[in-house]
Structure 1
Amino acid sequence: MDLLKRFEMDDCKAIATPMGSRTYIDVDENGKCIDISMYQGIIGSLLYLTTIRRDIMFSICLCARYQSKPKESHLVVVKRIMKYLEVIVDVGLWYLKGSLCDLVGYSDSDFSGCKTERKSTSCTFHILGNALVSWSCKNQAYVA
């Protein structure tokens, strides 16, 4: 809530997902420039928040790629992530005593899913009991 107040979004309308399913972020050469220090401040605060909120990591890391020349289209995506924080402020992991704690891991990748660099993306996640405890998604080193 302090983060939302700091960037004057404490009265924003909440959104159920951090990023739309059809959202695509690119360099946006023709977009309107915005204040770099404000954008970097928001990204830095959200990156710090990912230590306890893993569900926003992919979206934040995607937006962090454009910190050197942020445009208004990038700020719109970041503001959507902040609107999502309004929904999840009271959500967390809960483990009941004596509950089943099996660790299960999954892995997946796509074929040249990054439209900017034409690289494939590899993703993994781990579930302990019924809660997500680890998640990773990164571009592979080589072009497919």
Structure 2
Amino acid sequence: MEDCRSVSTPMAAKEKLQKNDGTDAVDASMYRSLIGCLMYLIATRLDILFAVSVLSRFMNSPSQLHLVAAKRVLRYLKGTLFFGVKFRKGQKFKLQGFSNSDWASLVDDMKSTSGYCFTLGSACFSWCSKKQEIVAQSTAEAEFIATTAAANQALWLKKIMKDLWLNSGDCIEANVDNEAALAISQNQFSMSEPGSSDRAQGEVHRSNSDSLGAPSMWVFRVTYLLATSMVAEEQEEAEARRLDGSSSG
């Protein structure tokens, strides 16, 4: 891989991996070793988090296609060696969150993936990508489950900052790109379909109460963030630069 050509994204656009893809099996020990190395890099490279999270689901019986996808992450890393977590002096000390989901992205069980990250000052310092426990019935439900995970993390981070005598403000703002999920979080309507995430809805509504802050302020406020229509390569590079502190936009 030393002489490989770099790529601009860790995963191909709209790529959906599955367990039985019809390609030959590869050495599972070698594949697990590669994924383990990538997991180590996640500590400072949140831009590969989603890709590694997906690839780690095939460590029991990896195929040739899975290995190719894993090597693509290495090719991406080769072209982005200067990326990382960079905190710059003089940035506004504000805790802010972002959450998203990839609805029904898993071909094998049709479950979605939750993702969130939190920034403090100029860079991101807390992030997660995890398969959801239930099968979401809609994009709104998948997005709301991701928002719930972000809300729980936000409350924990706020408690930690309070213990350290750090002022993060009365309210933590979380940004989502789904208006239906935003409406649910604000209790404008509920999810009453069988199998819906009522417990998740209760968690976010509880987070919006005064469990930690002033009685007139929300501890966790969800706001709408319009997603752009940039192509994958442009969007990946812009977001990676912004989250690692390379850009102030």
TM-score, reference length from structure 2? 0.50
Deviations 1:11-61 (A, max 9, x none): 111111101122111013521111111111111111112122222121112
Distance, in Å, in 1 between the alignment partners of 2:52 and 2:101 is 20
Residue 93 of structure 2 corresponds to 101
Q: Map 1:79-118 onto structure 2 (within 5 A).
A: 79-109=71-101, 111-118=103-110
The share of aligned pairs that are identical, in percent, is 36
Structure 2 counterpart of 1:42, one-letter code? L
Cα RMSD for the two superposed structures = 1.8
Q: 1:16 to 1:32 in 2, by over 3 A?
A: same
Equivalent in 35, 42, 60 of residue 43 of structure 1: 35
* Structure number with bigger Rg: 2
Structure 2 counterpart of 1:102, one-letter code? K
Equivalent in 127, 136, 139 of residue 119 of structure 2: 127
Query: SS of the counterpart of 1:42?
Result: helix
Distance, in Å, in 1 between the alignment partners of 2:103 and 2:70 is 26
2:44–2:85 CA contact under 8 A, matched in 1: no
Query: SS of the counterpart of 1:81?
Result: helix
Q: CA deviation at 1:105?
A: 0.9
Query: SS of the counterpart of 2:47?
Result: helix
Q: 1:141 to 1:89 in 2, by over 3 A?
A: same
Is 1:142 the counterpart of 2:122 in the alignment?
no
Q: Which has the higher contact order (CA 8 A, sep 6+)?
A: 1
More helix by share: 2
- Larger mean CA deviation between 78-87 and 112-121 belongs to 112-121
2:53–2:129 CA contact under 8 A, matched in 1: no
TM-score, reference length from structure 1? 0.83
Residue 11 of structure 2 corresponds to 19
Structure 1 counterpart of 2:109, one-letter code? E
Q: CA deviation at 1:101?
A: 2.5
More strand by share: 1
- Larger mean CA deviation between 109-118 and 59-68 belongs to 109-118
Q: Which runs of 5+ in 2 are unaligned?
A: 137-249
Equivalent in 49, 57, 64 of residue 65 of structure 1: 57
Distance, in Å, in 1 between the alignment partners of 2:106 and 2:98 is 21
Query: SS of the counterpart of 1:106?
Result: strand
Distance, in Å, in 1 between the alignment partners of 2:100 and 2:77 is 27
Residue 34 of structure 1 corresponds to 26
